[in-house]
Chain A
Amino acid sequence: MRPMSLYQHFKAKGYDFFVGVPCSYLADFIGELQADPEMTYIPAVREDVALAIAVGAYMAGRKPLVYLQSSGLGHLVNPITSLLKPYGISIHLLISLRRQPFEHFEMYRIARELLELLEYDDVTLVEEPLCGE
C-alpha cells in the first residue's frame, strides 16, 4: 500500500484551507494542493500575509493550514505575537526546516527555540531528510 502523502495526511485530519509561501522541499505538497479541484490556490506574497489570510478563513469557520520554509519564520513573529496570541487563535504551521544552502543555516539553528520562545506549538516541522530534495 502506498503511504499517504503529506497533503493527504492533512486533508484526512480535516484541514480544508491551505495557504503559504512555497519551498522546494514542499513541492509535492504544493503540487497536490494546486491539483486539488476542491481548493483555491492562493499565491500569498509573504508568510505574514498567508497567516492573516488563514485567520480570515478561521473566522469563517474553516480549518486552515499555513505552509512555509524556515527562512520565512521571522515574518510570523509579528502576527503570532500581536494577532494569534491576543485573540486566542491557533493556526497550524507546516514548516520545512532548511539547513542549506548557507543562507538558511542561522534560522535553521534557532527555529525550534524561536517557536518555543513564542510558546507556539501548533506546528509540524519537516526536516530535510524526510522531505527529500
Chain B
Amino acid sequence: MRRIEAIRQIMAQVTDELVIATTGMISRELYVVRDRPENFYMCGSMGCALPIGLGLALCTDRRVIVLDGDGAALMSLGSLVLSRYLALPNLVHYILDNGTYASTGDQPTCSRSVDFEALGHNVKVIRVEPGNEPGIPRIPYNPREMLQRFMQAIGRRSERGTAVGERSRQE
C-alpha cells in the first residue's frame, strides 16, 4: 500500500480527533488528503510528534491521533516507552513504516529490528511502500497561524468540558 492510501484510510474514520502529524511527507500528504483545523502539521523537531500528542492527551478529554513514521519513531524511541507507561486511553499512535527515510530519498532505517507495538501504547503499525507521491505541495500555512487555528479548534470543543484552551485565548 502507498503511504498516502494509509493516510486516506485513517482519515476516513476520523471525526473530531486531534491529529498530530510528524515532519516531512507525512504532514504534507495529510494536508492533501484532508486538511482541517484539528490537524497539527509538525514541520521540524523530528521525533516530537508523539510527546506533543502525550501532552495534549494528558490535558484534554479529546481523542488524539499521532501520525508517525518509522524513522521519527526510532528517533525518540524512549517516547514510546513513556507512552506505554502513561497508557492514555485517548491516544492512538499510528506508525507508517516503510523502512526508509522517504522524505530524504529512501535511505534505509533499522525499523525491521524493532517491535513498535510491543514498546508503545495503542500503537498501530501500517506497513507501506517506500517512496513519495509525486506533486505533493509544501503546506502553505504560516506556522504560527496554523498553530492558532489548531488551538482554537481545541478550545471550541473544550468550552463545555474542562475549559482547557481558555487561558491561551484570553492572553
Contact = CB atoms under 8 A, between A and B. Distances in A.
Nearest to B49: A52
B48 A60 contact: no
Q: How large is the interface on B (under 10, 10 to 19, 20 to 34, 35 or more residues)?
A: 35 or more
A52 B52 contact: yes
Contact of A61 (B47, B54, B166): B166
Main SS at interface, chain B: helix
A44 B54 CA distance: 11
A56 B164 contact: no
**Cβ-closest 10 pairs across A and B:** A56-B55, A82-B44, A45-B78, A52-B51, A60-B59, A61-B165, A83-B45, A52-B48, A56-B56, A53-B55
A50 B151 CA distance: 20
A43 to B, nearest CB: 7
B53 interface: yes
Interface residues of A, number: 34
B161 to A, nearest CB: 11
Which of A43, A49, A64, A89 has most chain B Cβ within 10 Å? A49
Given A17-B55, A88-B143, 6 more contacts: A46-B76, A48-B51, A57-B58, A61-B151, A61-B167, A82-B45
A50 B51 CA distance: 8
Contact of A83 (B44, B86, B168): B44
Interface of A: 17, 19, 40, 42-46, 48-64, 78-79, 81-83, 86-89
B144 A59 contact: no
A46 B50 CA distance: 13
A116 B166 CA distance: 32
Contacts of A50: 51
A32 B44 CA distance: 34
B100 interface: no
B39 interface: no
A51 B167 CA distance: 20
Nearest to B59: A60
Contact of B54 (A53, A79, A83, A87): A53
Interface string B149-171: 01100110010000111111100
B79 interface: yes
Contacts of A87: 143-144, 146-147
A78 B171 CA distance: 27
B116 interface: no
Contact of A63 (B79, B85, B167, B169): B167
A61 B164 contact: yes
Contacts of B166: 61
Contacts of A57: 55-56, 58-59
